[in-house]
Amino acid sequence: MKEKTARGKVYLVGAGPGDMGLLTVKGLRCLQKADVVVYDFHLNAQILNYIKKDAEFVYAGKRGGHHEMTQDEINATLVQKALEGKRVCRLKGGDPFVFGRGGEEAQVLAREGIEFEVVPGISSAIAVPAYAGIPLTHREYASSFVVLPGNEASTKGESSIDWGFLAAQKGTIVFLMAVKNIRQVTEKLISHGKPPDTPVAVIRWGTRADQRTVVSTLGEVSEAVANHVIRPPAVVVIGDVVRLREQLNWYERKPLFGQRILITRPYTEEYEPLEDLGAEIIEFPTIEVVPPEDYNDLDRAIDEIHNYDWIVFTSAKGVEFFFRRYFDLERDIRDLKGIRICAVGPKTAGAIREYGIKVDLVPESFRAEGLIDAFGGEDSVKGLRILLPRAEVAREVFPERIRELGGRIDVPVTYRAVRPERHAKRLQRFLKEGRITIATFTSGATFTNLCEMLEDDVAELLRDVTIVAIGPVTKREIEKRGLKVHVVPARATIEDMVNSIIEYFTSPQNGCHT
């Protein structure tokens, strides 16, 4: 008898209005364990980087009136995937139950007997005004607020909105999806008695790096929207609380507000200071770190580990892949007794200490001569036997110098950096539209791989972008394409690169490049 497939479960998850940090912890957890993700257009695509690699992506985007999938098709997909026994994440911008049709999707699932769970998201109705410095309620200005759909303002057909009641309210009025009908909205409110000088704010792409806010009055806002070319998505806030924006506008005053920074390696917490200062990070890794094609050299070195005087680790990845193989071979950490450990950089040292291993040396200089000085100088190198587990492609300056001075050094390939298989169409569109303002490269490979992935004139795409290289070698690789490198830190670390970006964009001579 054929075994019956267990039913799956659907999570209706609100992704928030755009800022990655506004995705809830529970929403992220649901996303990470999903087998299928059905997602919309109006959400930060960076969220998709947290989906497990073998998950199925289903784009149900709705943009500018164009629907990739009809609502019936979306409903059918949720049901079908759940009946296949899969965990499905229906990822929606904002909150699923605030003008998001999440209630309709939940009804379909309930009728089909499919288990579902709703994970609320932060609605743009609340978050976007807050990021524009506009509190929806304030003891001296408004004690209530109402949220309405602006697409009901059309003069044709019936509307469920009681315009007379709405115009008489002293609280704050928030319209979503109202930009196209902004003239009808304002005319209806004024015709029902709302004063034309009532303050109004229109906020486009709220909580994002390209947030734009136009402040006007009820009588003049439709003209202001046309003059500033404000298009959807935007939130309209009507009421006296708009007057507080001048005092409370915190987000748009951040030093790096308006900067959208491309990072071509996986995101780490070292990039957080950029976000704290108002920048938005676009993560598009152009290298993927994988094990070596064969372990022969590394296994030989591990078998002879007791013969080395020093092990030199040059990166946290080198530490991770070395010890992964070390323990796969069932070696004991006690076998390292008597071997001294050198870590190039504090992050590498931290990665080593996580294994309970003492770091004997962290050189001040990351260059070959600096490392040799840290070992005690040229006269101390002769006779030393050194293990340098490293990437497949790496500079030979240090190993060659050690051999010249009479030392022995083995450099087994411990990991490889390869170009990941991923589409770059969205990034290409962002570059063409000028929505990337800064591009960072942490190696020559991150840059050359990007060139291959974009399949376009990279020099033209990056012409107006501030380019940051982690060091001189990376800088030279970029300059071969005829591009100017604007920022190079003194030390080749992510932390120093981030600090250099902050210094460059906040220094008096450069000003804030927004």
Of the candidates 76, 17, 78, the one whose C-alpha atom is nearest the C-alpha of residue 42 is 17
Q: What's 232-272 look like in SS3?
A: CCEEEEECHHHHHHHHHCCCCCCCCCCCEEEECCCCCHHHH
Q: How far is CA 162 from the centre of its chain?
A: 41
3-state secondary structure (DSSP) of residue 392: coil
Which tokens in the block code for residue 277? 């200062």
Half-sphere exposure of 295 (CA within 13 A, CB side): 13
Return the DSSP state at 46: G
Which tokens in the block code for residue 382? 């002769």
The one-letter amino acid at 258: G
Identify whether the C-beta of residue 159 lies closer than 8 Å to the C-beta of residue 190. Answer: no
**CA angle at 505 for the pair 500 and 510, rounded to the nearest 5°:** 115
Question: 501: part of which helix (H) or strand (E)?
Answer: helix 494-506
Paired sense of beta strands 234-238 and 199-204, if any: antiparallel
Helix pair angle (71-83, 102-111), 10° resolution: 40
Maximum alpha-carbon separation in the chain: 92
Of the candidates 30, 39, 33, 10, the one whose C-alpha atom is nearest the C-alpha of residue 106 is 10
Torsion of Cα atoms, 340 then 342 then 347 then 352, to 10° = -20
User: What positions carry a catalytic annotation?
Assistant: 40, 62, 177
d(CA 386, CA 487): 34
Identify whether the C-beta of residue 59 lies closer than 8 Å to the C-beta of residue 77. Answer: no
Q: How far is CA 464 from the centre of its chain?
A: 21
d(CA 134, CA 145): 12
Write out the E strands in 448-495: 466-469
Neighbouring residues of 176: CB distance < 8 A, sequence distance ≥ 6: 98, 99, 124, 125, 147, 148, 149, 150, 235, 236
Number of residues that this document lists for the chain? 514
